[in-house]
Amino acid sequence: MTIHTIRRIVLGSAVALGLAAGPALAQTQVTILHPLPLNSHYGAGATALKESFERATNNRFRVQIQRNDNEREAIESVQIGTAECVITSTGPVGNFVPAVRNVDVPFLFRDYAHARGVLDSDIGQWLLEQFRPRGLVGVIWLENGFRHLTNSRREVHTPADVRGLKVRTMENQVHMRAFQTLGAQPTPMAFSELVPALQQGTVDGQENPIPVIVANNLNQVQRFLTLTAHVYSPAVLICNPGFIGRLSAADRAAFQEAARAAQRANRDRVTADEQTGVEELRRRGMTVVTQVDTAAFQAALAPAFQVYERELDGNLLRRIREWRP
């Protein structure tokens, strides 16, 4: 066998091995964390993103969806790069990006059309831009929904009925101040600790959107639901800057389109859950209070609103309240 022949065989083997190994070497795993079951509005968004991004990149990227119901811990994982992205409510985000605390103010948004419109406008885009200086990339707004109050002690119709209740809140000073002002005892804790705390009586109640209450079967540990709609809870897709920076221009465009698919799927699921969720919770045995004196709750929160205007961005809050399509 000549040297030329040997060289040709070796070269051919190397090419064959390279072709065989190429796709595996080129494939990149992207981990997306979120705090709820896969069969939820967050799961719907994550699944839509996975399908869209994998399809657009011919599976060069494979998206792995993982549950982590400690949202603050999940955000930290994205910040340090042990996970690429997270879908999270804004509750703990204000601890990382202070400007986001503005969207957690009670009774700030009139309805879903108002909330979605604001977050899809230049206001929402400006807020997303505040993530970069904090070592995070705010990609797109999703949603958790309007939050309602549940508890195991009594029906809640007026602000006076809230007084004395131990209510689990997110680790969010804006939410905690609201419940303190109403005379409740806000108890901040991670979502992962909620069900045991309700079972053991550490707290009497909690507040979450209908989709979260349904998906996590909170009816098993809570008897009363009051449709207070006291605060709209946005969600946001946050990614690690290094991950975004490593994407080519084409892949970045594909990822942004996948994020838009996630937003559509997430909002569609919230809408569907809102339409059927209350009746489902009634069917599961919850007592549901639908007639709530919203004006009385807003009046009772007046001292908190004064603090928000002073300690947050009063001008931004006014822009949000006055926003029209």
Say which CATH topology domain 24-318 has: D-Maltodextrin-Binding Protein; domain 2 (3.40.190)
Average the pLDDT over each of 2-6, 274-278, 279-283, 321-325 and give the range with the smallest value.
Answer: 2-6
Backbone dihedral angles phi then psi of residue 246, each to the nearest 5 degrees:
-80, -15
In whole numbers, what is the pLDDT of the chain averaged over residues? Answer: 92
Q: In the structure encoding, which two tokens stand for residue 210, read together?
A: 């209908």
pLDDT for 150 beyond 90: yes
Residue 26 confidence class, pLDDT cut points 50, 70, 90: low
The pLDDT assigned to 244 comes to 98
pLDDT tens profile 188-222: 998 989 999 999 999 999 999 999 999 999 999 99
- In the predicted model, what is the mean pLDDT of residues 216-245? 97
pLDDT for 19 beyond 70: no
Q: What percent of the chain is modeled with pLDDT above 90? A: 89
- In the predicted model, what is the mean pLDDT of residues 79-107? 97
Per DSSP, what are the bridge partners of residue 146? 232
Measured between alpha carbons, how far is 5 from 186 in angstroms, rounded to an integer? 79
Measured between alpha carbons, how far is 18 from 233 in angstroms, rounded to an integer? 49
The pLDDT assigned to 27 comes to 82
Q: What is the largest CA-CA distance in the chain?
A: 96
| Matching residue, tokens 């053991």 | 200
Give Cα 200 distance to the centre of its chain.
27
Residue 23 confidence class, pLDDT cut points 50, 70, 90: very low
Measured between alpha carbons, how far is 30 from 254 in angstroms, rounded to an integer? 14
Q: What percent of the chain is modeled with pLDDT above 70? A: 92
Q: Which residue, 177, 158, 181, is CA-closest to 169?
A: 177
pLDDT tens profile 4-17: 443 443 334 433 33
Residue 82's contacts (CB-CB under 8 Å, 6 or more residues apart) are: none
pLDDT tens profile 292-303: 999 999 999 999
The pLDDT assigned to 22 comes to 38
The pLDDT assigned to 50 comes to 98
Contact in structure between 199 and 54 (CB atoms under 8 Å): no
Measured between alpha carbons, how far is 88 from 283 in angstroms, rounded to an integer? 29
